[in-house]
Chains A and B, each alone.
Chain A
Amino acid sequence: MTPSDLLSILPLLVLVVWACALLLVDLWLKRKGVTAFLAALGLALTAGLALAQAGEETTAFGGMVALDGFASFLNVLFPLSGLLGIAVAYGYLKRMNIERGEYYSLLLFSTAGMMLMAHAADLVVVFLALEFLSLPLYVLAAFARPRLDSEEAGLKYFLLGAFASAFVIYGIALIYGATGTTSLSGIVAAIEAGSLGTSGLLLTIGAALFLVGFGFKVAAVPFHMWTPDVYHGAPTPVTAFMAVGAKAAGFAALLRVFVTAFPALDADLTPVVWVLAALTMFVGNVVAIAQTNIKRMLAYSSIAHAGYILMAFVAFGNPATRADAVASALFYLVTYALTSYGAWAAVIALEKQDPSAGSGQAASGLEINDFAGLGRRRPALAAAMTVFMLSLTGMPPTLGLVGKFYLFRTVIEAGQVWLAVIGVLTSLISAYYYLRVVVVMYMREGAPETTREPWLDFTWAVSALATVILSFLPMALFAWASAAGVMGF
């Protein structure tokens, strides 16, 4: 280990030390607003340091950690999503009587895990990062204890997460058995040497198990069953953070591992990913129609969006379109992060404690019908929510359209026209339930009680503005995502 090794993961190290210090400092802080501020400061510092690393391309710790455009891009994205996670949570935690300083340190730890995932160039580090980002999330999902649905969400997420980790580690073990190494460069070398023989089958099975494990993490059908319950039960800011951060980290691992190490398994795994993507888009969008609860609807929508990103992933083995696949997936992750944070912030603005239950026992205001009359009561919030719903559908003038455009272009470039057709058709299906929210907001009478909190209002306002404004300069953003290529070995 050399000092340059440490320097290449400096943002991550700073964040981990910051989180440890925050955990201790918070014990003596009476006002949790100070904790929130310190946590935000740490995340901003981390994002700045990560931004300063842009353009570097190197490996560290004997090839276990990679610093490339891909890692720097995500290492800016993750702390920023953590910042939004703090912005939407600050008022909410107070209002729901669950203001505990641990929220902020756990969020910082989880963000650090996601950043490690973006760096991982060795399957062991991938697994370490997976656990590092998941364990704080299990606790965060149960953060609203003693609310029963929150505790249920925590336990469910933990059990299924552990189950998924078992798939991942078994896959890694088989890959190691086939190639004799866990480093991505070693796996590439072993495949290129062509001496795998019958172990080739073992490698394919290992890669497939790896895909299954991360299928759980990114909530791809048929591994999505935990998502609605966990997203519904977890405190809403945690759900927002989970839907954006954990999904992006899962895709980060999938993208890097499959694009660098497994292009040779293309013939076997492309049909599998194809079916996964098609199923995920179809089931996610169709089941979302039947939901009456906005949190469950957005949970199914997040499943559907995992399907869209998986679509880009089908091209992982095709060297001609590989760069575009990574870029359009990253672009879509940014799009989804902005839009979904905004939508969750709007949900938080309407959520309140159920007065009929004991304190902290249940939340209400989460039915889609509770949005009735929002257009009259809070015109700006309703307009922002309309933008998010349009963006999730993929309609102009929003970033969602641009993101989908690049995804579909990549898919067609890769020759998977039918998958693109399925993607467009399921987007049409999704218009039904997204636009229903808009209809309810503007065309039904109602008197929704909303909360005005500066940081919450800031989040949905900024997300809405960014979703619209960035859609007019997509080339610049896409160029940035294109520059964030995955390093070859």
Chain B
Amino acid sequence: MLLEYAAIAAFILVAVLVGAIAIILGALFGPRKKTEAKMMPYESGMNPIGPGARRMPVRFYLIAVLFILFDIEIVFFLPWAIVFRQLGLFGLIEMAIFIAILLVGYFYAWKKGALEWE
């Protein structure tokens, strides 16, 4: 029983070793020349604008929460659309309930002014 997990243990071991070896070898033999370009924060190849840990408006938090609301919706919509025919009326009602619950949250956020940016 436990032997079946041996493969997983070996897999974990190899994964750790590969990572560790790469870092250790690099640290041991790699040249260390710090140029200004190397020390820059990585921003997809662009020159960074301002410091990396900038303060940003807390309103983004609400945007992120609302994003989750609609993101989850899509996560459930896609598989549902694929098996729509097999599920039939049952699936349609189930989805209507799901959307209704999401809409409660949406209307709540709307009326509370979470969608306004000022």
* Contacts from A to B (Cβ < 8 Å): 1, 20, 23-24, 27, 197-199
A27 in contact with B111 given A197-B1, A199-B1 (CB within 8 Å):
yes
* Contacts from B to A (Cβ < 8 Å): 1-2, 90, 101, 104, 107-108, 111-112
Kindly list 13 other residue pairs between chains A and B, CB separation below 8 angstroms, not including A23-B108, A24-B107, A198-B2: A1-B90, A20-B101, A20-B104, A23-B104, A24-B104, A24-B108, A27-B107, A27-B108, A27-B111, A27-B112, A197-B1, A198-B1, A199-B1
A271 to B23, CA, bound (A): 47
Interface of A is mostly: helix
A197 to B4, CA, bound (A): 14
Given the complex, which residues of B lie within 8 Å of A1, measured CB to CB? 90
- How many A-B pairs with Cβ below 8 Å? 16
**CB-based closest 9 A-B pairs:** A27-B111, A198-B1, A20-B104, A23-B108, A24-B107, A24-B104, A23-B104, A197-B1, A24-B108
Given the complex, which residues of A lie within 8 Å of B1, measured CB to CB? 197-199
Given the complex, which residues of B lie within 8 Å of A27, measured CB to CB? 107-108, 111-112
| CB-based nearest B residue for A197 | B1
Question: Taking the nearest CB of chain A, how far is it from the CB of B22, in angstroms?
Answer: 31
| CB-based nearest A residue for B112 | A27
A1 to B111, CA, bound (A): 35
Given the complex, which residues of A lie within 8 Å of B108, measured CB to CB? 23-24, 27
A27 to B112, CA, bound (A): 8
| CB-based nearest A residue for B111 | A27
Given the complex, which residues of A lie within 8 Å of B104, measured CB to CB? 20, 23-24
What would 16 A/B residue contacts be, using CB atoms closer than 8 Å?
A1-B90, A20-B101, A20-B104, A23-B104, A23-B108, A24-B104, A24-B107, A24-B108, A27-B107, A27-B108, A27-B111, A27-B112, A197-B1, A198-B1, A198-B2, A199-B1
Question: Taking the nearest CB of chain B, how far is it from the CB of A14, in angstroms?
Answer: 15
A24 to B104, CA, bound (A): 7
| CB-based nearest A residue for B94 | A1
Question: Taking the nearest CB of chain A, how far is it from the CB of B63, in angstroms?
Answer: 19
Given the complex, which residues of A lie within 8 Å of B2, measured CB to CB? 198
Question: Taking the nearest CB of chain A, how far is it from the CB of B97, in angstroms?
Answer: 10
Given the complex, which residues of B lie within 8 Å of A199, measured CB to CB? 1
| CB-based nearest B residue for A1 | B90
Given the complex, which residues of A lie within 8 Å of B112, measured CB to CB? 27
A381 to B101, CA, bound (A): 44
| CB-based nearest B residue for A199 | B1
Question: Taking the nearest CB of chain B, how far is it from the CB of A15, in angstroms?
Answer: 14
A222 to B8, CA, bound (A): 33
Question: Taking the nearest CB of chain B, how far is it from the CB of A310, in angstroms?
Answer: 33
Question: Taking the nearest CB of chain A, how far is it from the CB of B66, in angstroms?
Answer: 16
Given the complex, which residues of B lie within 8 Å of A20, measured CB to CB? 101, 104
Question: Taking the nearest CB of chain A, how far is it from the CB of B65, in angstroms?
Answer: 12
| CB-based nearest B residue for A105 | B108
A23 to B90, CA, bound (A): 27
